Amino acid sequence: MASSSQSWSFSFFFMASILAIISQQKVAGVFWPSPWQLAHATFYGDDTASATMGGACGYGNLFVNGYGTDTAALSSTLFNNGYACGTCYQIKCYQSKWCFTGVPFTTVTATNLCPPNWSQDSNAGGWCNPPRVHFDMAKPAFMKIAEWKAGIVPVMYRRITSYTTRETIIAWNVAPANWQVGLTYGTSLNFR
């Protein structure tokens, strides 16, 4: 009798542990930002971020489509073949004399790929060459965290949930069959 109740309580403990692990992972995947990690950031374009238009994610005109100037191009290590398109990151300038003090972080949405340039050294201009983790930010976004004269600054970043309306809308078969990364397409499907 004692042994059967012991094994019962063991199974119960075992099941409870499994459930705890599963629910923890679920919660971590959905709600919690990733830990802060080290990267670097540069900027591109001018104060109007006009150069952020028509990025590799196919978002077209970022003002018309609601992304504004808080956008960044990701090195291919982060870009992950386009799976990072639309993901959001908090970015804070880290241990540089060019960092603005009193600015905790700024938030950007990934809208473009920063392609590698192998004719430049990875530590002198080829900032987006793999395996570098790099954010090439629209200039107005960069100017929120650091003096633009810096050119490049170390940053800490973490991925957060992208939310604007806190609503998720899933639409199937929106992109035309011939769509590929870099192409902009129109659709009749829309947000209400």
Closest to 88 measured CA to CA, from 107, 105, 63:
107
CA dihedral 81, 83, 88, 92 (to 10 degrees): -30
d(CA 150, CA 99): 9
Q: Does 123 bind ligand NAG (CB under 6 A)?
A: no
Choose which of 17, 120, 161, 162 interacts with ligand NAG (CB under 6 A): 120
Minimum CB–partner distance for residue 52 and ligand NAG (Å) = 16
> Least CB distance from residue 50 to ligand NAG, whole Å?
18
The DSSP annotation for 127-186 comes to TTSTT--EEEEEHHHHTTTB-GGGS-EEEEEEEE---SSS-----SS-S-TT--TT----
Q: According to the binding rule CB under 6 A, does residue 119 interact with ligand NAG?
A: yes
Span of 29-37, 118-126, 132-140, 177-185 interacting with ligand NAG by CB under 6 A:
118-126
Do the beta carbons of residue 96 and residue 148 sit within 8 Å?
no
Q: Between 96 and 122, name the residue whose CB sits nearer to ligand NAG.
A: 122
| Closest separation in Å from C-beta 72 to ligand NAG | 17
Q: Give yes or no for residue 117 binding ligand NAG (CB under 6 A).
A: yes
Q: Footprint of ligand NAG on this chain (CB under 6 A)? A: 117, 119-120, 125
